[in-house]
Structure formats: structure tokens, C-alpha cells
Amino acid sequence: MRILYVLHEFPKLSESFITNEIYELNRRGHDIAVFSITRPSDKIFHTETEALDIPIRYGSTPSPVLLVTELRRVLTFRLFKRGLFLDDPIHHAYWLHLGLEILDFIDDYGGVDQIHTHFAAPNRQGAVYAAGYHRVPCTVTAHSYEIFSPPSRRRLRRLCSRFDHIVVPSEYNRDYLGKKFGIKTDISVVPATTRVDKFEPSHGSVPGRVLSVARLVEKKGHEYAIDAVAQLHDQGYEVEYHIIGTGPREDILRARVRERGIADAVKFLGNVSDERLKTELHDAALFVLPCVIASDGDRDVAPVAIKEAMAAQTACISTNISAIPELITHGHDGLLVESRDTDALAAAMRQLLDDPIQRRRIAANGRETVQNKFDISSSVDALLDVFERVQRDSHCPRSVFDRILTRIGLDTG
């Protein structure tokens, strides 16, 4: 297939699941191109990114004058005004602008069979426009923040109705979209995951080493891990806590470490290379990610970082929110505790630190779980099945967007 990915930022270190997906599709011989709305802000990338040789085009930032001009022209078309400009019109003009840029890229690329995007954010409307214009299916993988804390529930519902198919990483997401928003578009579950063969199983660890890998944002629950480490120190355990990742809460978390009196036991490592990540996973006795539902409703689903730790055969502890129980079976391939419960988290950490036999058993079972259920190969098999079905079932008629472009004189020909 010739597949165009429309993404907000590519490559992005914290979205390894997207890189893994594109890498596997490309490895299998599919022609992949990427339209990235913004340029990458990271300085470190995954090794799979370096191995990719695919066309990438970055979107431009239109001037306010251009946006207002496009908006005025579009608003002369009554159907477009009534159907799409119910709120936030200047942003709709920007999404139209993105749609036109995507059209140009597709023409230069020589056409595509499928457009796929990750995250059902409002600016993905441009991908829907381009797909309709070219009579190809457009699908989306709906993940987390954009459905759990959307800026507008009505806009999310309207956007989801325009995709040919929605992919979600868990049953939890599917139930949430169906029950909370009443989404009628067909939804398939395809886990966001990793290449298990990228991570060799750990055969030893640094005693007392605890690791978290995650952006420093509220939903990751870092403060509860910090408090649990402090509690273990007060109880005489020699625990060293490494934190990989960057984010807006770094200063808050550093201050919490100082307040708890464990500055010598906690290291903030920032973003790291893949080689350093694998070393940290192998050295860790425990991988801890005490996820919470954030104050704005955002939450993790089944974090890829946990899957990578399981692939590296590192014992994992997390919380029983959202779809994490779809990934970890408590007591078998990891431990789950209530979110925001520092005492329960510290007890789970003590349990595995005190019982190396159980820790090794859970770690081995964790690797087996991701090999059997969450390897990237299985996920891409399922994703390709979705693509084939929507291409077979969708007639993809020339969309209203085609008529809009012609009507306002923006048809790219």
C-alpha cells in the first residue's frame, strides 16, 4: 500500500509507538510517507527513525492575513458555514490550509491508497479533507488526551464521525468513545506497542534500583513514586530512583524530592538514547509508573513504556486505572495498586524488593505477555487488516470538500 501518515510532530521521542508502526510497515515493503504539521522539537530520536528512508514534508504556518482571507472565502459557501464553522472559525481556516498542503504533498508523492493519522485532535480535519478530495479512506488512532480531555466534546464527536474507521489502543478506549460520546463510526482495537526483539531480557539488576520512563506530566503520577521511595528510605531500604523523561512538571518534582530529603537517591536523566534506555531497563530491579487520572481528565491507557520494561524482563508496578489491567494481570506479570495510594505503592515495591524469586517470575511472565500479545508485528497485522477492510468497503465518493474547493477557487487542479 501507499500510506500517508498525517502527524502533529514527527519524529517525536515520546511517541515511539508511532515510529515502531511506521518502521514495521516500511520494513514489510509498504510505501510510507509522512506529513508532519510541525517540525520535531526533540534532539534525540529512536534508532528506528534513523533507519527510515521515507518522504517527509512539514507544514507551514500561514500568516494571519492568509487565514482571514481563506476564512472569508470559505464563509461565502453556505454549506461549509453551516456544517463546519459552528465554533472556532479561525482554526477551521487553518485546518483548511493544512488540507491544501496535504493535497499538494499527495500530488507530488504520486497519490496514496490510504491516509492514517494518530490522535483525533481538531487539526486532523485537514487529513479528512485531503482524503475526501482524493477519494481514499482516512482512518485515525484515538489515544488519550484528545478524547479524555477534549477542548470541545461536540467537535470531537463531529470529527470522529468523518473518519472511515477509528482505531484505539484498548478495549477501554472503545468503550469510552462508544458510551461517553456515542460514536457510531466503526472502532477496532490495535494496541500501541513496541518491537519486543529490540529489548534483550535482563539477567541481573542493580540492587534497589527503581526506574520510571515517562513525560513529566500529571497523569504519570511521578510524585507518588517519589513519596514511596522516601517512605522506603525511612524504613531502611537503600533505594535509588532514576527518572527518564522531560516535561512541564520537572521543577515541581525536583522540589518534592528535596522536600522528602532524598535528593541523593533520585536522578533526573532527561531524554536518553535507545542504548541508554536499554541499559537503564536492564539495571532496574523495578519499573514503576503510578499513573493517575489527571485533574483535566487526561489519563494513560496502556503505556508503551511499561511494555518496553516488560520486554526487557524488568518487573513492573503500576496502577489499576484505564486499560492498564488489560496489559498487566496483577500478581502474574506485574503488580497493580490503587492510584494516588503511596502506602500501597511502597508496599508493592517492598514486596518485590524483598522477594527476588517472585520478582524474577513476574519479570519473566511480563516478557512472555508482550511477546504473545503486544509485539509490533501482531499490531501491524491488525492495522493492515483495518486498512484492507476500509479500502474494500469504502466507495470514497468525491467529498463535499471537492465542491468547496471548486466553489471558493482553491482547487489545486
User: 132-181: per-residue pLDDT in tens?
Assistant: 888 899 999 999 999 999 988 888 888 898 899 999 999 999 999 999 88
Q: Pick the most confident of 36-45, 201-210, 236-245.
A: 236-245
* Residue with the larger pLDDT of the pair 98 and 233: 233
Domain range enclosing 391 = 2-193+376-408
What's the Cα-to-Cα distance from 263 to each of 211, 268, 383, rounded to whole Å?
Answer: 15, 10, 45
Using the predicted structure, report yes or no on whether residue 83 has a pLDDT greater than 50. Answer: no
pLDDT at 71: 62
Give the ranges where 181-290 is alpha helix by DSSP (H).
Answer: 222-234, 250-259, 274-283
Domain match, 204 and 275 both: yes
Grid cell of 222 as nine digits? 511521578
**Distance separating alpha carbons of residues 69 and 278, to the nearest angstrom:** 51
* Residue with the larger pLDDT of the pair 32 and 132: 32
Q: Please report which confidence band the pLDDT of residue 407 belongs to, taking 50, 70 and 90 as the band edges.
A: very low
Domain match, 118 and 154 both: yes
**Distance separating alpha carbons of residues 43 and 384, to the nearest angstrom:** 31
**Domain presence at residue 413:** no
What's the Cα-to-Cα distance from 219 to each of 293, 297, 367, rounded to whole Å?
Answer: 6, 9, 25
Domain match, 173 and 31 both: yes
Domain match, 264 and 310 both: yes
Q: Please report which confidence band the pLDDT of residue 73 belongs to, taking 50, 70 and 90 as the band edges.
A: low
pLDDT at 119: 96
pLDDT at 411: 42
Q: Pick the most confident of 122-136, 139-153, 258-272.
A: 258-272
State the CATH number of the domain containing residue 401.
Answer: 3.40.50.2000
Classified as helix, coil or strand, 268 is strand
What predicted TM-score, i.e. pTM, was given to this entire model? 0.90
Domain match, 271 and 327 both: yes
Instruction: Please name which of 85, 287, 134 lies closest in space to residue 202, comparing C-alpha atoms.
Output: 287
**Domain presence at residue 183:** yes
Using the predicted structure, report yes or no on whether residue 93 has a pLDDT greater than 90. Answer: no
Q: Mean pLDDT across the chain, nearest whole number? A: 90
**What's the total number of domains in the chain?**
2
